[in-house]
Structure formats: structure tokens, C-alpha cells
């Protein structure tokens, strides 16, 4: 039996557009290099495919500079998908662009339609619950509406809080298996992962927390050797992908894909 929290048949990605240079960023640490980002993105997609998964590769969206970060547009669960309502106004239109791809693989697609906001980067699905972090992009009203939708499919949702100055909840954590979480010490200190097995990123390597477990691989951002060594020693099969260009836009490994097992063939 597969584990729906990290064993997937499909992923959706979107190629970066030339407009990526205008993407949102909390602070300006340099302009992304499109050619380098495309090369890293190709490595990321190839790694997903190596697991045997089908990757639905969507074309660039020049009208939406942050369109490469598809995870924020939806939450994919075994029984259905939920279209999000991003907290960044410039990203609202990305949701409609993602909808056709989700409807091609899901019979049940719902939507956050109230006044609240939720972004996928604030949502961590574990083996026992859905954790949703309140942040600058995800508010109480959005969390409340999401709770009602996922309850229909038998999921419990727990609201937690993203650390001050951190863009998304998953900026500081990721799922390694059904019961194990990779986290920064600052996020774990909040107590939100009580009852889980938690592995900490190395000091100074907090950005490594945004990794993903995808089938047999843990896909990590390159350049964080102590965290990579720790994960390797813990028995995880890691693949390191250059994330330097995405990081200039506060993006990471989870942001670049929607991961799920399709309810019908694409």
C-alpha cells in the first residue's frame, strides 16, 4: 500500500518564463538568471521522472512572473484538489491557469472562494493531519474555509503559525516520511511538531528545510553539506538540485511542483 503523503504517480511543473526577473521577493539579493534557472528546473523535473512518475510540464506564463512556483496555486489530496486563493495579488491569476491541468486528472476540484487567502507553501500534509501555517500569505479566513473542504474528504486540519519574517510555513519544514519532519530549530521550538520525529537542519543551513520527499528520493537544495550528510546518515536517498536562482525569489524545492496520485489518467 502506498503512502499518499510522499508516494506519488504524478507531478505538475511549469517552466520559468523570461519575466521571472520581475518575481516577488522579500528582499533583493540579486536578479535571477533565467538560463541557470532553466537548467536547474530541468534537473528537478528529470529527478521527478526518475522515480517513474508522470510529470505534466506546463508552458511558461510570461504574464505571471512567479508562475514557476506552482505549489501555491493548489492543494492536491487523494480524493480531490483544491484551488487556492493566493495572498499576493499579482499571483491570483495563476490559479485559473492551473485549473485545467487539475481538472484533467481529478474528478473533484474545489476552490477557496471566500475573502480569505491560502497558499500551498503554507500547507504540510502528514500521515495524520494537515498542518496549515498562518503567514503573510495565509490568513484565518482562508484556513477556516480550507478546513471545511478537507473535512469532507476525511482530513483533520490543524492551524499553526509561521515564524515572523519567514514567507511560508514550508520555508522552514518538509516531510521526510509519514512521521518524520525536517525542520529548522526555530520552527520546531514553537511546539508545532510535538509527537513527530523531527530532524533539524544544521546551523546556518536553515534554507535546506524546504526539501521534498518524492517517492524514493528526498530532493534537497544544493549547497548545504551538513544537512545533506545528516539526511544521508539517517537513511534517506537524497538528490541535490541547484536552488540559487529560485532562492532569490524565496522559492524552494516544494514550490516547484504539485505532487499527487491521479484519480484518472491525464
Q: Among residues 41, 155, 168, 200, which one is catalytic?
A: 168
Residues near 26 by Cβ (< 8 Å), separated by ≥ 6?
167, 250
The answer to whether the beta carbons of residues 94 and 59 sit under 8 Å apart is no
Q: Among residues 76, 220, 246, 255, which one is catalytic?
A: 255
Annotated active-site residue 255? The verdict is yes
The string of DSSP letters for 58-87 reads EPP-TT-TTTT-GGGGEEEETTEEEE-B-S
Count other C-beta atoms under 10 Å from residue 221's C-beta: 24
Give the span between the Cα atoms of 169 and 263, in whole angstroms.
28
The answer to whether the beta carbons of residues 81 and 109 sit under 8 Å apart is yes
Annotated active-site residue 76? The verdict is no
What is the layout of strands, in order, in the sheet containing 217-221? 212-214, 217-221, 237-241
Name the residues annotated as catalytic.
Answer: 168, 255
Amino acid at each position: 500500500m502506498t503512502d499518499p503523503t510522499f508516494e506519488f504517480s504524478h507531478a505538475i511543473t511549469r517552466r520559468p518564463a523570461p519575466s521571472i526577473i520581475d518575481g516577488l521577493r522579500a528582499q533583493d539579493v540579486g536578479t535571477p538568471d533565467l538560463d541557470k534557472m532553466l537548467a536547474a528546473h530541468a534537473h528537478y523535473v528529470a529527478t521527478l521522472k526518475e522515480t517513474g512518475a508522470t510529470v505534466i510540464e506546463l508552458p511558461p506564463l510570461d504574464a505571471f512572473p512567479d508562475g514557476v512556483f506552482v505549489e501555491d496555486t493548489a492543494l492536491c489530496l487523494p480524493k480531490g484538489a483544491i484551488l487556492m486563493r493566493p495572498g499576493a495579488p499579482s499571483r491570483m491569476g495563476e490559479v485559473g491557469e492551473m485549473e485545467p491541468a487539475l481538472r484533467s486528472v481529478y474528478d473533484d476540484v474545489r476552490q477557496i472562494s471566500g475573502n480569505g487567502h491560502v497558499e500551498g507553501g503554507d500547507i504540510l500534509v502528514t500521515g495524520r493531519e494537515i498542518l496549515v501555517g498562518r503567514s503573510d500569505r495565509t490568513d484565518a479566513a482562508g484556513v477556516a474555509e480550507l478546513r471545511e473542504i478537507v473535512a469532507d474528504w476525511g482530513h483533520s486540519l490543524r492551524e499553526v503559525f509561521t515564524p515572523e519574517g519567514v514567507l511560508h510555513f514550508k520555508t522552514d519544514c518538509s516531510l521526510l516520511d509519514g512521521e518524520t519532519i525536517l525542520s529548522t530549530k526555530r520552527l520546531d521550538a514553537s511546539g508545532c511538531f510535538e509527537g513527530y520525529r523531527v530532524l533539524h537542519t544544521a546551523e546556518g543551513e536553515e534554507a535546506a528545510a524546504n526539501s521534498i520527499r518524492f517517492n524514493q528520493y528526498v530532493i534537497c537544495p544544493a549547497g548545504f553539506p551538513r544537512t545533506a550528510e545528516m539526511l544521508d546518515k539517517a537513511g534517506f536517498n537524497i538528490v541535490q538540485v541547484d536552488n540559487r536562482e529560485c532562492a532569490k525569489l524565496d522559492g524552494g524545492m516544494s514550490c516547484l511542483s504539485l505532487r499527487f496520485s491521479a484519480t484518472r489518467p491525464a
